Amino acid sequence: MRILAPQHPRPTRRGFTLLEVMIVVAIITILAALGTSSLRELIPRMRTRKVAHEFAQQVEFIRQQAILNNRESSLTVTDWDDAYADPGQDQRGAWNLAVGNRSLGSTTWDILPVDADVDGVDDMASEGSYDLQPGALQATPYVGLLQPVTQQILFTPRGMLANSVGELSTGGYLEFTFANKIAVGQGVDDFWVVRVYRGGMVRVEPGQGDYYQNDDGGTDDHSTVSSGSPSSGGGGSGSPQ
């Protein structure tokens, strides 16, 4: 006679209720909205920082060119953004890198790359021109270059600034400011500042205002630009002198 093992009823499988599904969907939607909002603010900030650092690298590069070629070199701002507080207007900002024909007092300038033939004709300028405007190779949405006090950075073959004392700030440097047009258009100071010192040192610093208080990236105590918007001017054009 076989004794059968007691049969235990199988537990019934319980699915999610409609209410539980709705709660999960609501949470995911809220998190996605928060993430999208933060991303929209972060991208323009990162683009502005990127352009400022690229500008600083180009300043260091043109300084090296002056030393290597034993000729003075320059970075000249040829256009700037006179509507940096209006994100509805296209961003502007352009500059070129050039090497002179003399160690001092150059009479002609060769926009990089340096031509093999020293004939006074700039045959190629593909590497030495930078432009932020839409359609340009380096176009960067919503990043504008403010009008600088001095439009040209000039280095001697010793790697030092050749700019006159009158062109420098009281701190002994040239300053170039890039704006996050979206943030500034909303009344928020969000700038990145490039400073070039007489000895050739280049520094990039955040110039964010009180919107980012307690933010290690640029607190109001460390801001290089005050809560008042930096002075601006009309767009301009020029070339190495």
pLDDT single digits (tens) 40-80: 667 888 999 999 999 999 999 999 999 999 999 999 999 99
pLDDT digits (tens, 9 = 90+) for 73-122: 999 999 999 999 999 999 999 999 999 999 999 999 999 887 655 544 54
Which of 69-73, 221-225, 230-234 ranks highest by mean pLDDT?
69-73
- The pLDDT value given to residue 24: 77
Q: What are phi and psi of 67, to 5 degrees?
A: -70, -45
Helix (H) or strand (E) holding 102: none
Q: What is the pTM of this model?
A: 0.71
Q: Which token pair is 212? A: 């980012």
Distance CA 177, CA 188 (A): 15
- Burial category of 99 from C-beta neighbours within 10 Å (exposed 0-12, middle 13-18, buried 19 and up): buried
Tell me the CATH architecture of domain 19-222.
3-Layer(bab) Sandwich (3.55)
Question: Residue 167: is it exposed, middle or buried by C-beta count within 10 angstroms (0-12/13-18/19+)?
Answer: middle
